Structure 1
Amino acid sequence: MTIRARGRSFLALILSPEAPLKDWLAGLDNHMQRAAGFFNRQPVILDLGLLDEHTEGLAGFQQELRQRHIHLIGIEGADRHWQALQTWEWPIELQGGRPSGPVQLPEEEEKAPPLNPIKEPLIINRPVRSGQSIQNPDGDVIILGPVSSGAEIIAGGSIHVYGPLRGRAIAGVDGRPHARIYTTKMEAELLAIDGFYMVAEEMPAEPIGQAAQVYLEDEQLKIVLLQAAVIKN
């Protein structure tokens, strides 16, 4: 008998709660109302590094997240022997993720290490339907067709949609703020570049239904008509 083993890589969101937890949860609820379904099916790593064992509300914090349907695949930044964490259920410890472990800050200024080079783009030659997630954490994603509401595109580089973009587009996930999102018809539920995001209710009216591009400027997403962007450049 041949035993086969295959690896599979997943992108995970990292949540770093701050005290007071009551206020942080209220802020989370506000974000979830504006970006309904954003955490659906998303693996999440909980980083407790900004908290300590005496943080008020820590004992029941995991249950608060479960009630919000947030699926934890890892917990880091805390000692599981803390009294407040004794009733928590701990996922299997994850190792080998990117990034992983503490980073030693240099005593003298050094040049930042180069990013991993962008690899070949992932080309999808069909519509992306609701519930589907297309991911290419090491390069661009090119969709030759529409992206339905409830679908998700995640790219380490830029995202190009040659059709209506009605789902979620998340670009520059590997720390690339210069990534962009392009579509021939902007109707997105959520847009994000390098961790900064905008939901449909926050988008300006002018680009909706038009060919548009999205870029990051001063830590804010900008959406402009594609024709205007070509003239400007």
Structure 2
Amino acid sequence: MEISTRRLKLLAILGYFLTGITGGVIIYGSEKMIVATKTPILIFMVWSGLVLVIVSLIGIYGVIKINFGYTVLSSFALVVVSITLINHLMYAIIKDRSEVESDRKVLKLWNRHMLMGRAMHKIQDRLDCCGIYGFQDYILNDKQVPVSCVSEELVSYIYKQLGCKEASLREYLFSRNFIIFSEFTSLLLNMITAVAGFKLCSRIDRGI
């Protein structure tokens, strides 16, 4: 049974709306993670989320105004974004380098810290960790354990026990899983919305 034009419009509007919401969630989540794990993947996700928000606004406008050009443009843009997301998903799943990337980041910050003194404070505050393997790293390098390593919890330990290498890996894995889930959700919404948009364009073109 063929869907009526009115229901098709409502489905397209709902699809674009949910796509925009998904884009906003992707931007919010990615920006929060960038504070601790600034990687090309997360930067890509921020831009992807921004594109989804813009495309959804164009799509909603096109459907409400029965504008063929805007509706085609937004539907085609969703297909392009979906293809990009598929490629990115395959890369994220097949070529996962979580441990390598997190180790590289922490070691780079630690080496800078040994030279300049304050490079790791931000990540130690953000990830609630200390040193590479623990606060003992400072003692072994004849350095004073910084304030950012002091535990704020009411426990028997004075300093944070978790090393930033392990904390960074946890954060990186969480980021990766968030990205995969977000991209799968966005991909599904994009395909449904694009199909509804193209069907609506066909009816607009025929004057139905």
Given the two structures, how large is their TM-score scaled by the length of structure 2?
A: 0.25
Greater fraction of residues in helix: 2
Larger radius of gyration: 2
Given the two structures, how large is their TM-score scaled by the length of structure 1?
A: 0.23
Greater fraction of residues in strand: 1
User: With CA pairs under 8 Å and 6+ residues apart, which has the higher RCO, 1 or 2?
Assistant: 2
